[in-house]
Amino acid sequence: MIELLSQPWPWYVAGPSIAVVMFLLLWTGKSFGVSSTLRSLCSIGGAGKNCDFFDFDWRSQNWNLVFVGGAVIGGYLAAHFLSSPEPLQLDPRTVEELSELGIAFDGSFLPEDLFSWSSLLTAKGLIVMVLGGFFVGFGTRWAGGCTSGHAISGLADLQLPSLIAAIGFFAGGLLMTHFLFPLIF
């Protein structure tokens, strides 16, 4: 059983499992959306003192912080007890295109060249980690949700705003990947 679970999970196991998580959150009277925890973190840090947007009772959202804490633990458990001995299987075309940009692939989850403490203070490292993270936080809050809140929860409820948001997610991602990556790397 552990051996089976340690294999990489196919999409048709992962996707429905995510939908089950969404359903169970609805069933407990909550909704599935991770990015709103970033707003709670701002409030916890005291941002509500001089900004109305963060002046709300974050304790009413503590269930979501617990959920996110669970996601950290789940990552730990999967990495330590269900890890696959095989390297990541990446499409050879992606490997090729990334190597043309000078980004190597060695079978792990992340490119070491970009995501390391030593690259954090280089221009590329700052763009990828600091600027990238900034856009994730700024963009999700402006759009009112991320992949979980819009592309899954919102679209599952056939909400038009979520469709526009999802189109935006892909427009931004494609622009970055196909037009800006060659300029940055």
Partner 1 sequence: MKLTKFLLLGILFGIVMTKSEVISWYRIQEMFRFHSFHMYGVMGSALGVGLVFVQWIKRRGIRTYDGQAIEFKPKAFSIPRYLFGGSLFGIGWALTGACPGPLFTLLGNGFILYSVVILSAVLGTFVYGKLRNRLPH
**Cα distance between residue 185 and residue 181, in whole Å:** 6
Among 102, 122, 131, 182, binds partner 1 (CB under 8 A): 131
Question: Does residue 56 belong to the site contacting partner 1 (CB under 8 A)?
Answer: no
Residue number, 85 or 91, with CB nearest to partner 1:
91
Question: Does residue 176 belong to the site contacting partner 1 (CB under 8 A)?
Answer: yes
Query: Shortest distance, CB of residue 57 to partner 1, whole angstroms?
Result: 16
Number of residues that bind partner 1 (CB under 8 A): 121
Exposure pattern of 158-176 as b/e (b: 16+ CB <10 Å)?
Answer: eeeebeebbeebeeeeeee
Q: Please report where in the chains the tokens 């592309």 appear, as a residue.
A: 151
Q: Interaction with partner 1 in 144-173: which residues (CB under 8 A)?
A: 144, 146-148, 150-162, 164-173
Among 2, 73, 123, 183, binds partner 1 (CB under 8 A): 73
**Cα distance between residue 101 and residue 114, in whole Å:** 12
